[in-house]
A and B are shown apart, each in its own frame.
Chain A
Amino acid sequence: MAKLAKSPWLLHYDASSCNGCDIEVLDCTTPRFDIERFGIINTGDPFQADILLVTGGVNAQSEAVVKQIYSQMPNPKVVVAVGICACTGGVFKECYNIKGGVDTVIPVDVYVPGCAARPQAIIDGVVKALEILDKKRRDYAQARKSGQADEAEGGNEPWNT
């Protein structure tokens, strides 16, 4: 990661997590780990976010919320599944109300395992996501130039529909 094209904004959603990974995600923004040194800002607004961090497996009720937040984010976007529950369902995989990992609902780009995932691992995952975001951005620009933005990710932008 030589340089970043711009400062990506990060959105966090708790799908059904036990709080463990959530507070570690919040911890990443505090002085000890300071994810802001990568130019990343934690936002609460999906319309301005580039990176979606999801913690916890998806259940009957959070499924719709996760899908909605994902669709509200502008393209290109990346999704990071934080913690083993978000990756596969973890210890709660067999629960009646857990559908499984986040990838059963939306496409996931980076998986960060751990229970709870450590801040170092989360930062590692986010930095990986930045590379993917850069690549997606280039592909997306290319596609728009050649007028195929609809086929590339970006079909849901107002000017494309």
Chain B
Amino acid sequence: MAKQSIVPFGPQHPVLPEPVHLDLVLEDETVVKAVPSIGFVHRGLEKLVELKDFKQYVYIAERVCGICSFGHGLGYCQCVEDIMGVEAPRRAAYLRTIWMEMSRVHSHLLWLGLLADALGFESLFMQSWRLREKILDMFDLTTGGRIIFSVNCIGGVLKDMDSGMLVQISRTVDEIERELRPVADTFLRDVTVGSRLNGLGVLSAEDAKGMGAVGPMLRASGVPYDSRLTGYAAYGDLSVEPITATAGDSMARCEVRIREIYQSFRLIREAIAKIPQGDIAVPVKGNPNGESFMRIEQPRGEAIYYVKANGTKFLDRFRLRTPTTSNIPPMLDLLRGCQLADVALLILTIDPCISCTER
């Protein structure tokens, strides 16, 4: 048996935008075990429910993470709405859907950029982020924020989109769709990208299901599961088809995300075509009492929100199980047996969001 050595990985690592630490046990160049240690970004924000009332807490929930910010606000609001028996108006549900899908486009483009950066493909990184700027401009136009919007409230949304904005969004979507084509082709067909991603970190459908993988990680292994099909917000009215690939390797995960961007474009167009007129919020009176589990399909996968209320302004418990929490066990499994040089890439292909995970 070769001599074992331990290589620390992180927390400050050029490939990772966020701090996470792994102890990699190596035999020569091969990883035999990976032990994660987290907690660099742990803030303890779930405990803030004791200090902020349930309406203020929307803003805390949105700040769980700056990438999936809109979805976290939405998940929290849906939980409280479910407990209070409030239903957001249809127009609000459509607006939420449009923002949610725009968030998915922004998140996947961001991930593509980071992947290109990890591969050392600098111009591809810049191109992906250049396209992402156009979506951020649309957020800026419709909400006034680029990253954190604070447009969700319990009972609906705070801002409406006028028809001019909707037209501009659909124009921007057309523009990005056109310009994304050569970028997407490079990811999927380029020889150098392919030689790094093809066959790397294969996750079988059984393992993915058994270990509870979620999101593109699960779908890239051929399991058609997408919690948007449960029909929250306006997804019940739209045609959502889970996007799957069969290979289960890193390239499949990349492909699923790229195809999801195109799917989001379709959904945004469909929602813009179908959006009804009407109010954007209903008044909410009283305090919540009860508990509720809700699921949201975030860009990284399914997130589960749990709210437990006791009839006062202050909630008993808010809990968020993020997609990355579910994807870490399969990731550790994939790391076993891989080469040291591929570790960074493998970690990146699950699209980890550490600040969500640690809260």
Contact = CB atoms under 8 A, between A and B. Distances in A.
B43 A95 contact: yes
A105 interface: no
Contacts of B355: 14, 16-19
Interface in A19-37: 19-24, 26-27, 30-32
Nearest to B107: A23
B63 interface: yes
A151 interface: no
Nearest to B353: A19
B247 interface: no
A118 interface: yes
B126 A16 contact: no
B42 A16 contact: yes
Interface in A77-116: 91-92, 94-98, 115-116
B129 interface: yes
Interface stretch (A53-61, A125-133, A139-147): A53-61
A20 B147 contact: yes
Contacts of A115: 63, 148
A18 B63 contact: yes
Interface in A47-66: 56-57, 59, 61-62, 65
Given A24-B147, A31-B126, A97 B19 contact: no
Contacts of A69: 12
A15 to B, nearest CB: 8
A116 B148 contact: yes
B66 A19 contact: yes
A44 interface: yes
Interface residues of A, number: 36
Contacts of A32: 130, 133
Contacts of B353: 19
B27 interface: no
Contact of B11 (A19, A20, A65, A116): A65
A97 B59 contact: no
Q: Which of B41, B43, B113 has the most CB of A within 10 A?
A: B43
A17 B129 contact: no
B250 to A, nearest CB: 22
A17 B45 CA distance: 12
A16 B14 CA distance: 17
Interface of A: 13-14, 16-24, 26-27, 30-32, 44-46, 56-57, 59, 61-62, 65, 69, 91-92, 94-98, 115-116, 118
8 contacts: A14-B40, A16-B355, A17-B41, A18-B69, A23-B66, A31-B129, A65-B11, A69-B12
